[in-house]
Structure 1
Amino acid sequence: MANSSTSSTTPKETHEVFISFRGEDTRKKFTSHLNSALRRLDIKTYIDDHNLERGDEISQSLLKAIEDAKLSVIIFSKNFANSKWCLDEVVKILECRKYKGQIILPVFYEVDPFHVRHQLESYGEAFVKHEKRFESTLNVVQKWRDALGEAANHSGWDCSINRTESELVEEIAMDVMQKLNRVYVGDLDNQISKLEKLAHLQLEYYKSINTYANRESHEATVERITELKMKRSVRMLRLTREMLSYMEDSEAFEKLF
């Protein structure tokens, strides 16, 4: 269901994550929330932001978008299997999993994972229609069945677990980041940037009004910037508490985590 980059209207922009979803089920709800959470972590996604009329065949640009992704999130929802387009996406994603090692992360939104794997309930009803429509090419329908079963067997997220949607999308976004072997330091960069501007203003003020209190304020800000830069380095290097256990008795230890 994706054919344009979230970060730009230019489809050629590189992305790491492809999001497959059924627009009428989740576009303005779960999918948009998850996409926003990923973007806050500086993870580029490929997703359709428009209700576009499509032909029966999946487009080459969409196939290329799936191929270029490192990870695909498949949001299985009630009407997902009704869409030939969505089913073709799953087939292509599994091909990329086989030949390119693409990571697959299924998300079960208001559907039972068992129903998806075995095409029951709304998924079973969808395939009854597909078998009637494509009775001359049932091998294609079987390929869709097999793809759904395989994709749904991957370790993923069941949204029926008792938690708020906001908590869930944040957890999934963090899971995606870890699977991409990424480290997020945007929060620290933002703090450092603000404090550096503050330190500059404090220095100018200290030069014009040279008092001990003003100097102390400036030095405290500079010290905090240094602490945050150290914390950023610890996060980037993926240093753990155990790796830095020799520092436990120092005052700086807790400030690094």
Structure 2
Amino acid sequence: MKKLLQLLQTSSLYCNCNFRLPPFANCNCNFMAANDGCSNFQVFLSYRWIDTGNTFTGFLRWFLKREKIDVFIDSKDLPRGEQMLPNLIQLIESSKISIPVISEHYADSKWCLIELAKMVERHESESHIILPIFFNVNLEDVKKQTGIFEASFEKLKNDKGNDEQTLKRWKNALTVVAGIPRYQPKDAEIPRYELKDVNGDESKLANLVVDWVLHRLRNKRLTIAKYPVGLEAPVKQIETLLNVCSMDVEFVGIHGKQGIGKTTIAKAFYNQNLEKFRDTCFLEDVRDKASKDLKKLQKMLIKSISNREVEDIDSSSAGETLIRQRLEGLKVLLILDGVDFLSDVDSLSQLDALAVSKDPWFGPGSKIIITTRKVQRISNFAEDVEVKRYPAPILDDEKSLELFSWHRFSRKSPPKDYEKCYPNVLRLAKGMPSTLIELGSFLRAKNGERAWEGVIQKLEGRTRDDIHQQIKSWYAKEEDEEEEDEDDFTPKKK
């Protein structure tokens, strides 16, 4: 499993370059990216200046900075010496992605090899992401340390400061990065580009690398709930419905009453399956956002998936066209939360504007989830598309008591002190997560069975919405009383 994770988190770029671009003009780059202390950088870029510093790496560094990616670039101007080594090691340890540009003279530098060995160490122990770029070198020479790399190690061997164990570690690092699988863009979420794919255009290749890095750096995990109880089974059931590992485009509608946990289930599914998709988007409160500013919602969809800013959209029709231009054919995980429009006509028109319901733009393997209170919205969601239904389940008594206990006592199992009250709490909540959370939170300030029974008695026979409103009014009353108490102790002006 560990090896599989390593394969899924790495890729390599191979550039068999037989030319040089002119110096990277109009950049005014300051390659001294490190501060006196060790900062946290998203990307650590290791390269040999004499080979690529003023060409490919220049493009790459500039494009990364343009996208506001924090990149540490190991420049020729960086001071060397043993005192700098701990800082370099710490920078690699704190980075999210390492990009070594393996070029003709890369192995001439022991500093480059030290950096590479540390990257590989993290890669093997923590599945750290390495994106090696092979620039104008033979991959077999890198892997076996033959050719120009054999000559480089002969020079390093003559340096008395490099013992046999150190040389072996450096060679192993080259072997490991050269053995990182070569993926094809259509066959995997982590692509592998060669220079021939971009007709020898180094700047275009740099842009492709940046696109890949942007997608890998997105931290899009969602905050689910303070105490996520009873989510494992629904997530597994939805995974089965969607057939997550298939290349079919699948739709699922999660439906149920307000407060039953539709959004929470959708978020849990999203977090659980996020890494299986290169492109993901969770749009919350779709109805409210669409009714207030549909064009803004369109921009949110495009930015979330492409990770790029979107200029102003003139009209919702123009936004729909832009969505298709930017996103068509991509494999995505898209969740539309709160698709509860006033009418079917409103629903379809808003979803049309997201290019979802009519001639969808989704690529093979895409999975789309909507959450809604009204089951009929699922039937009318999209033309000529089967949308599978998933009724959000209520919690059983065991999970209900656990969720209540977390919010009342901050522990999984409730104490026996209130044992007689628990059946009444469960009967009142009827397995609705929102009611259990509200009851548990409100009863935190109530001690003793008598106080609990007084609250429960006043809520008996009420609907979930009525219970919510009553608890809300009690909170408001308590706040007013606290303010009155404070006024009693406030000196009056004479």
In 1, the alpha carbon distance for the partners of 2:211 and 2:109 equals 29
1:85-124 map, 5 Å: 85-124=111-150
Alignment partner of 1:180 out of 217, 225, 230: 217
Which residue identity lines up with residue 44 of structure 1 in the other structure? D
Which residue identity lines up with residue 299 of structure 2 in the other structure? R
In 2, the alpha carbon distance for the partners of 1:175 and 1:4 equals 25
Displacement of 1:238: 4.2
1:46-195 map, 5 Å: 46-49=72-75, 51-55=77-81, 59-134=85-160, 137-155=163-181, 157-159=193-195, 162-181=199-218
Which residue identity lines up with residue 230 of structure 1 in the other structure? L
In 2, the alpha carbon distance for the partners of 1:54 and 1:152 equals 27
In 1, the alpha carbon distance for the partners of 2:74 and 2:351 equals 50
Q: 1:34 to 1:227 in 2, by over 3 A?
A: farther
Displacement of 1:38: 1.3
Unaligned 5+ segments in structure 2 are: 1-30, 182-191, 221-289, 307-326, 337-346, 362-494
Query: Contact 2:56–2:203 (CA<8 Å) still a contact in 1?
Result: no
Q: 1:81 to 1:247 in 2, by over 3 A?
A: farther
Q: CA RMSD in A?
A: 3.6
- Aligned equivalent of 2:33: 5
- Aligned equivalent of 1:253: 354
Query: Contact 2:47–2:74 (CA<8 Å) still a contact in 1?
Result: no
Structure with higher helix content:
1
Residues 206-240 of structure 1 deviation map (CA, whole Å, 9 limit, x = unaligned): xxxxxxxxxxxxxxxxx9x9455213321455497
Displacement of 1:12: 3.8
Structure number with the bigger relative contact order (C-alpha 8 A, sep ≥ 6) is 1
Query: Contact 1:107–1:157 (CA<8 Å) still a contact in 2?
Result: no
Range 145-154 or range 237-246, more displaced: 237-246
Query: Contact 1:19–1:45 (CA<8 Å) still a contact in 2?
Result: yes
Query: Contact 1:134–1:141 (CA<8 Å) still a contact in 2?
Result: no
In 2, the alpha carbon distance for the partners of 1:247 and 1:106 equals 46
Give the secondary-structure state (helix, strand or coil) at the position aligned to 1:74: strand
Range 93-102 or range 235-244, more displaced: 235-244
Give % identity.
25
**TM-score, structure 1 length as denominator?**
0.69
Displacement of 1:114: 2.1
Q: 1:65 to 1:53 in 2, by over 3 A?
A: closer
Alignment partner of 1:230 out of 291, 294, 297: 297
Displacement of 1:249: 9.6
Unaligned 5+ segments in structure 1 are: 184-222
Residues 22-59 of structure 1 deviation map (CA, whole Å, 9 limit, x = unaligned): 12211121112101111222211111345245236861
In 1, the alpha carbon distance for the partners of 2:158 and 2:134 equals 27
**TM-score, structure 2 length as denominator?**
0.38
Q: 1:253 to 1:166 in 2, by over 3 A?
A: same
In 2, the alpha carbon distance for the partners of 1:135 and 1:13 equals 29
